[in-house]
Amino acid sequence: DIQMTQSPSSLSASVGDRVTITCRASRGIDNDVAWYQQKPGKLPNLLIYAGSTLQSGVPSRFSGSGSGTDFTLTIGSLQPEDVATYFCQAYLSAPPTFGQGTKVEV
């Protein structure tokens, strides 16, 4: 199984800051990575797929990059409503696997 190592586990930043979250895959997975946002008590919400494709309706301050083993989610200008836990997910093959999450505080 592919392991996804996500870092940091938590971060605190100010409104307007640029925030970067990284995931490293245990082996190359092309660009088959998705990113989710999960607010407390809510469902995971798909933000990005195929490494860098923004899901419809997601604000443009969110972006993704990377290919192979190293992937990044960037929030270009952190907003108060971005308080959440963010997960990466590899989906090249079954089983799809998730990172352990990054809790973002403002």
Partner 1 sequence: QVQLVQSGTEVKKPGASVKVSCKASGYTFSSYGISWVRQAPGQGPEWMGWISGYNGKTKYAQKFQGRVTMTMSTSTSTFYMELRSLRSDDTAVYYCARDWDVWGSLFFEYWGQGTLVTVSS
Residues in 57-86 that interact with partner 1 by CB under 8 A? none
Judged by CB under 8 A, which of 19, 34, 73, 84 binds partner 1?
Answer: 34
C-beta of 3 vs 77, nearer to partner 1:
3
C-beta of 14 vs 56, nearer to partner 1:
56
First to last CA, the chain: 34
What pairs with residue 104 in β-bridges?
Answer: 11, 84
Q: Give the burial class of 16: count Cβ atoms within 10 A of its Cβ; 0-12 exposed, 13-18 middle, 19 or more buried.
A: exposed
* Structural tokens at position 14: 């100010």
Determine, following the binding rule CB under 8 A, whether residue 22 of this chain makes contact with partner 1: no
Determine, following the binding rule CB under 8 A, whether residue 43 of this chain makes contact with partner 1: yes
Determine, following the binding rule CB under 8 A, whether residue 40 of this chain makes contact with partner 1: no
Helix, strand, or coil (residue 4): strand
C-beta of 49 vs 78, nearer to partner 1:
49
